[in-house]
Structure 1
Amino acid sequence: MFTLTEDLTKRFLTDLGLPVPKGKAFDNGSVAASFADGLVGGAVVKALVPTGRRGKANAVKIVDDKAAAEAVVEGMIGSDVHGFAVAKVYVEEKVAIAEEFYLSFSLDGFPGQILVSSHGGVDIEETHKNNPDSVVRSDIDPLNGVTEKIARDLWLKAGLKGDMLAVTASVTATLYKAFVTADAVMMEINPLVLDDAGKPSIVGAMMGIDENGLPRHSEWAEMADGSLIAAWRQFNEREMSVAEANRKIAGGAIRYTELDGDIALLVGGGGAGLLQHDMMLAMGGRPANHTDTNPGAGIEEKFKVTIRAILDNPSVKCLLVSFNHQQLTHCARKAEPLADVLRERKVDTEKFPIVVRLVGPGEEEAKEILDAFPGLVYLPFDASLDDAVRAAIDVRNRMGDHS
């Protein structure tokens, strides 16, 4: 998943005809201030980072004049918000608020869920704690989605009445269509507001997008590499190099996320990869990263980029390469990229421990390729996943801090 910044989220929603305040992204204080000065009724300046809870980080400010806007923008740009460097801000018109609501859709498992609350503008966790009756959660029927009727029933349970019920239900149904169209796995609207005339406006908006849907959204593809998040932070240069290779090199797929350990994992197959990660933690090892790979034409080049990223990580003291059959991929297609990068980087495999377990067609050929590297531990055919993880931890421990 990658999280769209607010400007891209709101541009997408605007293009679908949803009510969004006038706004624009800027990386220059004076230009942003001139735009803010032209907005009637004041402006709101927000740090443009792919994360929530910006208000608590003082990353959302209301400004009433040009001088104040320029000062706020200049103060935000270059700052840090929840681990993200602020390179741009989003300036939008200030909306007159009579009512504030909360709305979110999520696809974190099956079925998807919708959550609504009559108390918006604050963290939903805080609302649930203080006003639990105002929060209504429901599964989303994958066949019917969220219709106006379904949305109306949910908002009615949350306490809405009268004209605001119909307006909010209509916007909710349209937002769900946007959620599906975007290939999103998360959408949070906080707050969804009504003004004194009952007119709706989407003041706060975030979307998390399934990166597998990028072929249908070319307008977000380039942005994805710079704004992918590893659940809690922005990708570093090594992670971004793998993300860029994954996008630009056709065939196969690979994901690479760094952690705070010292044993690198080059593993594949969602279940087997996660299992080895958990095994390592259970045995006292500390994973330096997590990977997930899907075979396909071009995967060799993506492997090379990933191995380079692993070797460039100063925390890494050992490497475990471990795969099962993985759709009967020839083992040499994994061994050759590893051998190429080890030669390219002139890695001393007697000082930098590497454990390899490859199962599938071409095992003997893969072993011959890697036998050229003294000290590299190539496990036998009958070695289990447990054996591979334990071997990596053992060689790492034997090397101490000298690897």
Structure 2
Amino acid sequence: MWNNRIKCSGVFTDTPKCPCLICRNFFNLKKGGSFSQQSCSFCCFFLFVLFLQVLVGSPGILNNHGFQVQQQQQRRLSLHEYLSMGLLKEAGISVPHGVVANTPDEAYKIAKEIGSKDLVVKAQVLAGGRGKGTFEGGLKGGVKIVFSPEEAKAISSQMIGKKLFTKQTGEKGRICNQVFICERRYPRREYYFAITMERSFQGPVLIGSSQGGVNIEDVAAENPDAIIKEPIDIVEGIKKEQAVRLAQKMGFPPNLVDEAAENMIKLYNLFLKYDATMIEINPMVEDASGVVMCMDAKINFDSNSAYRQKKIFDMQDWTQEDQRDKDAAKADLNYIGLDGNIGCLVNGAGLAMATMDIIKLHGGTPANFLDVGGGATVQQVTEAFKLITSDKKVLAILVNIFGGIMRCDVIAQGIVTAVKDLELKVPIVVRLQGTRVDDAKALITASGLKILACDDLDEAAKMVVKLSEIVSLAKQAHVDVKFQLPI
């Protein structure tokens, strides 16, 4: 292929003439066919960049017909239920009437204004399993039915300002700062509906089930045939007949099929409008009054859309986030805290996953996923070390860098700066390969810090696991062992 390059006269013009099939496919000028052995210079470079991205695990995007490597945060923004329900209401979708309360007194006032003797008080916590959770004060359940404003106030006082513990929150729990007071509705039937991005379909997919109001994962495991999927062409968009077909398969009565389909179309438009990655309605119901209604809503948004979804991202509740997640977001780092004791600093999501796997293979447990991306600065590397060491469980750190786009000397300078500034006393194992690796090694040597270096990833993983075990055994024996660098 590299010997058959031809000049492409069509790239970036209105009427491309390039015979290269790659170029034609790229510009949507020709579909299908077999791979052409003729490739223009542009396409050869394009493939080379893609190859580098796969090799080093660094994501890239095309902007304005030029190549620009950017770190892609894969985190998802989640909103509280009352905010998600507000977005549905704006879109013309039927939802129960409700208002959020920040204090027990507000809960009393709202309950009185709603005027119903049948109300639901819902703790606003970004975690699943609220109904079966427990508050630190002893109250069981984060979703309660009440029958008077006085009862709404009493229940709210046991929720607001307290931590709710569920299967998803773990032992840390999540603080409840607000409650959602809404009218209670009596559904005849409950359904499950969701929209998400599905790789196997290469686009969005509608998911429906006649079994709503329960854990959909359990339904999928016990009765997979009850889950119905309807792929949507990302270019053509949703069609009325698709929504109608899904509503029929879900079991909506004939007189409500059109209404259910209209709600699905509105939800899909909402999905696109706000760059959502998932909308989950559980349950979507046939109300006793004969109305199709969304009783609950969970919406996740693509963090990469923050620049154009200011309205949505201004709604983010940082009190529901781990402090390390906040710091990672500020430093533009892709960080996820885990339960292990070996800190990881890696470039590229794929390499980060492989690093965690090899640590696990040798008997260790990773304390985090941390991808510094392909364009990290010395400051970002230092911030990455701050994030890792802020976790008191971390007993050792493994740095694994393959310098394709990322320069090893930048990582090395960040390591040296972090060790000195943070006065790190945990063992650090470093494996560097690739761009400017010799400069990186020279920087570490000149620093006088005896950071443990390995060229082989397998050996590096074995070493960091052994070091973590030494520190762990010392702690169990109540022996004060500190790794002073240099050691």
The worse-fitting range, judged by mean Cα deviation, of 66-75 and 108-117 is: 108-117
Partner of 1:50: 126
Q: What SS class does the counterpart of residue 357 from structure 1 fall into?
A: strand
Letter in 2 for 1:75: Q
Letter in 1 for 2:395: K
The structure 1 residue matched to 2:267, chosen from 172, 175, 199, is: 175
Q: Find the aligned partners of 2:102 and 2:436 in 1 and give their Cα distance.
A: 53
Partner of 1:80: 164
Report the Cα offset of residue 119 of structure 1: 3.5
The structure 2 residue matched to 1:360, chosen from 395, 414, 434, is: 434
1:185 aligns with 2:277: yes
Letter in 2 for 1:364: D
The structure 1 residue matched to 2:93, chosen from 1, 18, 23, is: 18
Q: What SS class does the counterpart of residue 242 from structure 1 fall into?
A: helix
Q: Deviation per CA, 1:243-291, whole angstroms, max 9, x where unpaired? A: 2332xxxxxxx21122222211001211111111101101112211111
Partner of 1:245: 331
Partner of 1:102: 192
Q: What SS class does the counterpart of residue 216 from structure 1 fall into?
A: coil
Map 1:29-178 → 2, pairs under 5 A: 29-41=104-116, 42-57=118-133, 58-77=141-160, 78-82=162-166, 83=169, 84-111=174-201, 112-125=204-217, 127=219, 135-178=227-270
Structure 2 runs not aligned, ≥5 long: 1-75, 134-140, 475-480, 483-487
1:8 aligns with 2:86: no
1:334 aligns with 2:411: yes
Letter in 2 for 1:191: P
Q: Deviation per CA, 1:292-349, whole angstroms, max 9, x where unpaired? A: 22233x643332222112122211111111111242x22222222222221112234x
Partner of 1:231: none
Structure 1 runs not aligned, ≥5 long: 228-233, 247-253
Q: Deviation per CA, 1:357-384, whole angstroms, max 9, x where unpaired? A: 22233223222322224331133xxx23
Map 1:207-286 → 2, pairs under 5 A: 207-224=299-316, 226=318, 235-246=321-332, 254-286=333-365
TM-score, length basis structure 2: 0.72
**CA spacing shift, 1:130–1:311, aligned 2, 3 Å:** closer
**CA spacing shift, 1:181–1:138, aligned 2, 3 Å:** same
Report the Cα offset of residue 141 of structure 1: 3.4
The structure 2 residue matched to 1:346, chosen from 419, 423, 443, is: 423
Is the 1:242–1:302 Cα contact (8 Å) retained in structure 2? Answer: no
Q: Find the aligned partners of 1:318 and 1:130 in 2 and give their Cα distance.
A: 42
Letter in 2 for 1:68: E
Is the 1:49–1:81 Cα contact (8 Å) retained in structure 2? Answer: no
Larger radius of gyration: 2
1:308 aligns with 2:383: no
The worse-fitting range, judged by mean Cα deviation, of 51-60 and 278-287 is: 51-60
Aligned length: 382
Q: Find the aligned partners of 1:108 and 1:323 in 2 and give their Cα distance.
A: 31
Q: What SS class does the counterpart of residue 122 from structure 1 fall into?
A: coil
Is the 2:372–2:380 Cα contact (8 Å) retained in structure 1? Answer: no
TM-score, length basis structure 1: 0.86
The worse-fitting range, judged by mean Cα deviation, of 62-71 and 116-125 is: 116-125
The structure 2 residue matched to 1:288, chosen from 355, 363, 367, is: 367
Report the Cα offset of residue 108 of structure 1: 4.8
Report the Cα offset of residue 133 of structure 1: 6.1
Letter in 1 for 2:343: A
